[in-house]
Amino acid sequence: MRISRLPALPVALGLALLAFPLAAAPQAGVQEEVDRLLARAEGASPEGLAPITRELAALGEPAGNPLVSHLPGLTPRARLVAAEALFRLRRVAEAAPAAAEVVADPRAETPVRVMAAELLGVHCKADDLPPLKTLVRALEEPLVRVAAAKVLRKVGRDREGVQALKELLTLDREEVRAEAALALAELGNAEAAKAELGRLAEEPTARGRLAREYLLREQLMGMLDETGGLSGDAYVQKLKEDLARLTEEVESLRSRAASAVAPGGAVGGPADFQLLSEVLEDVRRYYIDEKLTDHDALVNAAVKGLVGSLDPFSSYWDERETAAFKESISGSYAGIGAVVSIHPRDRLLTIIRPIYSGPAYRAGLRSLDRITEVEGVSTYGKTIEELVSTLKGTHGSEVHIKVFRKGWRAEREYTIVRETIELASVHRAMLPAGIGYLSLSQFGETAVAEVEEALQALEAEGMRALVLDLRSNPGGLLEAAVEIADKFLDRGRLIVYSEGRNPEVAPRKEFWTRGESTHPPVPMVVLVNGASASASEIVSGALQDHARAVLVGEQTFGKGSVQQLLGLTATRGASTLRLTVAKYYLPSGRSIHEVGVAPDIVVAPPPEDPRVLEPLERLRASGALQAYVEAHFEAQRGLFLELAAFDWGEAARYPGFEELHASLETTLDRDVVRRELREAVRARVQDELGHEFASDLQEDLQLQRGVLVLLGRLGLAPDADPRAAWFAPRHAGPAEPPAAAPDSPGGRRAY
C-alpha cells in the first residue's frame, strides 16, 4: 500500500497534509522560486519561455499570489510566462489582462506578442476579454494583429475577427498577407483570401500544402452548393466523403504546422519505458550542451512532467525542493519584515510596504524606500532572489543595510535585527449601519483564533450584520475551515466531506458542526472571487447550502481536491510525490473541484481600459504622486486621513489638484489621476498609522453590493448612511438574489 511510505516524512505532518486543501509547497520557498524563474524568463529567448512556464505552474496554487504581485513590474517576456502560469492555475481574472498587456506592448518582440495572443485564444472566453476588439484595432504590428484577430474568432466574435483579417490582406508585407489568408481559411472564409491563397499554393512548403488543401476544400464546398446537397445522389455522397477526408487532413496539417513553430509543442508517440529510455540515451549521447545532460536532472524533469500532466495540484518535489519544504515548516529563518520588489526604473531593491508588526517598520523604514546596499553590496542589477536571500537569516541575527528616500540628501545606514515574521490573516472594520467587515486572507494555524477575536470585537462595537470577505483566499487547513464554518451554523450540520478512489489512502470523511452557533445569527454576506479556493470554497459553499449567507462576487476557483505527500523509497525519502487522492463535496453533494461555487449575486470588478495601461505605468514610475503626498502630508494630515477613507470622488478636495494634473502632462483624465492619487495617500496614511486599511468601501464594487444586501436585510434604505447613498446608484438590478425552491440543489433559499 502506498501509504506505507509516509514515514519518510514526520507522521503528524503527513496526516495534517491530508487535510490541507491547498498546495502545501512552502510559501517562502515558493516566493523565492517564483522570483528565480521570472528572472530567468527576462533573459530567455521566446523559444525558451515554455519550460520556465511549466516550472512555475508546477509550483501549484501557492505561486498564484506571488505571480500576481509581480505583474506590474515585469518585462513582456516575464509577464507572458507569469500570465500563462496563472492561466494554468485557473486564475483567469488576473492572467487575461496580463496577457492582453503583452499583446498591446509595442516594446515586446513580435513572437512574444503573438504567443500572448494565442494564449488568450486558448484560455479565454468572450466575457474574459471585453476590450479585445478595441485592442485589435489599435495594434500597429500586423503579425500581432493576425494573432489577435484569430483570438476574436476563438472566443466567439467571428465577424470582428474576419473583418480585422480582411483589412490585413491589403498590406504590403508578404508574410502578413500570408498569415491573414491562412487564418481566414481556417475560419472558413477562404473565398475572401482566394488570391493570396493561390499565391501561397505555389510554394513547395508546409504552408503551401496547407493553402492547396484549403483551396481544394473551398472548391468541393462550392460543388456541393451547386448540386443542392442531394443526399441520394452518389456523386454528391462521394463529394461529401472527400470533403470530410480533406477536412481531417487540413486539421492535421494545421496542427503540425502550429506545433512546428510553437515553443514547447507536444510530440506524440507511445509513452512506455522503452521510449523514455531511448530518448534519455539519445539526449545524453548527442545533445550539444553536455552540461545539460546530467542523468539525474533529466530523470527529475521527466518525472515532473509525468506528475504535472495529471492536474495542476499534483507535483514531484526533488531532493532540493523537499529539503526546502522541510526547512520552511521548521521556521528556521527570519527576515526584516517588508514586502520588496525591484523598482522598474532604477533597478534598486524597493520596499513596497513594510509589515507593520515587523522590525523594518519599527526601525523607521517606509513604503517606497530604496534599499541601496545589503551588507556592503549594492542591490543594483541583482535579482530579487539574490537580494531576498541576503535579507533572510536566523531569528535574532543582524543585517546591515543602506536606505535612500526621496527628500534625503544621502543614504542612511540601518542595522535591523531579523525576526520570524507572522502575518495577521484577519482584518476587520465597522461599515455603515453597524455592518461588520471581516476579511480572512488564509486558513492558517492562527485563523480560528483571529476570526474569533475579530467577531467578539465587532459584536462589542454593536455589529448588526456581517460581511465575511474570502476573496483571493487560497485556502489552507481543513480543520480551520471546519471550525470557522461551525461558528455560524447550528448543531448537527454537515459542513463538507471528502472521498477518494482508493479507500485505503482516502476513505470517506465527514465533518459536522459540533455545537450550537457560537455567535448571534446576524444577516451575513460572503464575498468570493475567482481566486477564492479550497478552504474558502468549503466555508462559502457550506454557508450557501445551509442558507446561512448570501454569496456576492464571482465564481470561485474550483480547487476541491486533497493532496497526499508520499515519501519515495527510490530516493530513500529525500524526494516527495504530492498526489491528488480525493475530492471535497459540499453538504448538497456538489463537488467543488474544477467547478467552484457560484455566487448568489454576480458582481464583477470594473474592466480595465487597455488605453490607460501605458500612461498609468509612466505615471507610477515617475513618482510624481508620491512627491505630492510627501510635500503636503504634514500640513494636510487630517484631510489626508479623511480622503484615504472616502474622498467622495471629488478631485477638488485635494489641495492644488488642478495644478498637479496639469504638471503631469498625461493623457489620463482627472478621475483616473484622482483614484491613483488616493492610492498614494492611502499608502502614506497606512505608514503613518502603522496598520493596513481593512477595506476600501469607496472603490470596492463587490463590497458595496454586499453592504446594500445587508442594509435591505436590516430593513434600511441606502440613504441610511451617506456613503451607501453615494455608491448605491452604481448598482443596477435587485439588491436580493432570487430565492431558490426548497427542493433545488442543496435545498437553498435566500437567507
pLDDT digits (tens, 9 = 90+) for 405-440: 877 888 999 999 999 877 778 999 999 999 999 999
Question: Would you state the pLDDT for residue 174?
Answer: 77
For the ranges 413-422, 537-546, 650-659, 716-725, the lowest mean pLDDT is seen at 413-422
Give me the DSSP letters along 428-442.
Answer: EEEEGGGEEEEEE--
Higher pLDDT, 14 or 178: 178
Question: Would you state the pLDDT for residue 723?
Answer: 96
**Contact between residue 528 and residue 705 where contact means Cβ atoms under 8 Å apart:** no
Question: Would you state the pLDDT for residue 26?
Answer: 44
Higher pLDDT, 188 or 328: 188
Residue 114 DSSP code:
H
Segment 501-529 shows an average pLDDT of 86
What's the one-letter identity of residue 98? Answer: A
Considering the candidates 318, 545, 647, 687, report the single residue annotated as catalytic. Answer: 545
Return the H-helix or E-strand segment holding 297: helix 295-308
pLDDT exceeds 80 at position 470:
yes
**Contact between residue 496 and residue 560 where contact means Cβ atoms under 8 Å apart:** no
pLDDT exceeds 80 at position 267:
no
Considering the candidates 534, 540, 561, 575, report the single residue annotated as catalytic. Answer: 534
Instruction: Quickly count: other Cβ atoms within 10 Å of residue 245's Cβ.
Output: 11
Distance CA 498, CA 61 (A): 20
User: Which CATH topology does 25-261 take?
Assistant: Leucine-rich Repeat Variant (1.25.10)
pLDDT digits (tens, 9 = 90+) for 336-383: 988 787 775 677 898 877 887 789 988 988 877 899 999 999 998 887
pLDDT exceeds 70 at position 188:
no
Q: Which three cell numbers stand for residue 561?
A: 481536491
Question: Would you state the pLDDT for residue 50?
Answer: 81
pLDDT exceeds 90 at position 680:
yes
Task: Decide which of 3.90.180.10, 3.90.1150.10, 3.90.226.10, 3.40.50.850 is the CATH code for 426-602.
Answer: 3.90.226.10
Band of residue 326 on the pLDDT scale cut at 50, 70, 90? low
Band of residue 494 on the pLDDT scale cut at 50, 70, 90? very high
**Torsion angles phi and psi, residue 498, rounded to 5:** -120, 150
Band of residue 234 on the pLDDT scale cut at 50, 70, 90? low
pLDDT digits (tens, 9 = 90+) for 83-101: 888 988 888 888 888 888 8
Q: What is the mean pLDDT of the chain?
A: 80
Question: Would you state the pLDDT for residue 711?
Answer: 97
For the ranges 44-53, 466-475, 552-561, the lowest mean pLDDT is seen at 44-53
Band of residue 397 on the pLDDT scale cut at 50, 70, 90? very high
Higher pLDDT, 362 or 655: 655
127 in active site: no
Instruction: Quickly count: other Cβ atoms within 10 Å of residue 417's Cβ.
Output: 15
Band of residue 190 on the pLDDT scale cut at 50, 70, 90? confident
Q: Which three cell numbers stand for residue 175?
A: 508574410
Q: Which three cell numbers stand for residue 64?
A: 498564484
Band of residue 214 on the pLDDT scale cut at 50, 70, 90? confident
534 in active site: yes
pLDDT digits (tens, 9 = 90+) for 708-735: 999 999 999 999 999 999 999 999 766 6
pLDDT exceeds 50 at position 17:
no
Q: Is 651 left (phi over 0), alpha (psi -120 to 50) or beta?
A: alpha
pLDDT exceeds 80 at position 272:
no
Q: Is 153 left (phi over 0), alpha (psi -120 to 50) or beta?
A: alpha
Higher pLDDT, 641 or 295: 641
Considering the candidates 559, 561, 575, 687, report the single residue annotated as catalytic. Answer: 559
Helices 319-330 + 27-43 axis angle, to 10: 140
Q: Which three cell numbers stand for residue 528?
A: 468570493
Domain boundaries, the chain: 25-261, 272-302, 338-417, 426-602, 610-689
CATH architecture assignment, domain 338-417: Roll (2.30)
What's the one-letter identity of residue 694? Answer: A
294 in active site: no
pLDDT exceeds 90 at position 400:
yes
